[in-house]
Structure formats: structure tokens, C-alpha cells
Amino acid sequence: MTTFKDVEDKLKNFIIQEQSDAHNARNVNQAKYNNIKIWMDRARNPIPHVFIRISISEASYSLNDFSKINGGLGYEERFVIKWFGRYGIKEKLMELWNSSEKNKEEEK
């Protein structure tokens, strides 16, 4: 079972790797990405979506086509968009969305 922590770690590692490949690895501020937060909020939006927070920036994206719904992530947004296109990411996020629906139904 995929957890939010799993996808947060995958995004963190992806961003660090992308920056290391593009720049001198010593200049990548890895600690900046220790607080990446990913969550979903069915009360705010009933369509499948994901919220991503990196440092003080936050944005939400549709899980259908990964279009941005609201907010912005600044410089890191290009890495997040690229990460969405990686094999298995959409499936893992949809699994989290579907499991949150099951949990909500079980609470009733």
C-alpha cells in the first residue's frame, strides 16, 4: 500500500536528482526538500487532486491531467510537473485518492 510519505520521498529524491544532474551537486540545498508535504482534501475539492507544499509555496493539481488548479511552487514547479510524468506516479496518487474515499466511507 502506497502512503503519502512514500510519494513525498519519491518527489524529494526526484527534485534533488534533477537538480544534481543540471547543476553542481554541491549547490543543491537538500534540506529545503525535507519538509515536502503532499495531501488530498475531498472537502475542498471533490475531483481527484493533490496538494503539494514545498517550503512556503503550495499548489494543487488535478489527478486527471495534472493541470494546476490553484497556487504555485515557483522554481520547483517544473520539477513537479516532470515528476508527474514519471511511470507509476499517477497510479500511486490515484491509489491514495481511492483509499481516502474508502476510509471516508468506513467512517460513516
- How many domains is the chain partitioned into structurally? 1
Per-residue pLDDT tens digits for 54-93: 989 999 999 999 999 999 999 899 999 999 999 999 999 9
Tell me the residue range of the domain where 63 lies: 4-101
Structural domain includes residue 78: yes
**Strands annotated E in 1-108:** 37-39, 49-54, 57-62, 68-72
pLDDT tens digits, 5-58: 999 999 999 998 888 766 555 666 777 888 899 999 988 888 999 999 998 999
Largest CA distance in the chain: 52
For residue 77, is it within any domain? yes
The pLDDT assigned to 27 comes to 64
pTM confidence score: 0.85
Q: Quick check: is 53 in a domain?
A: yes
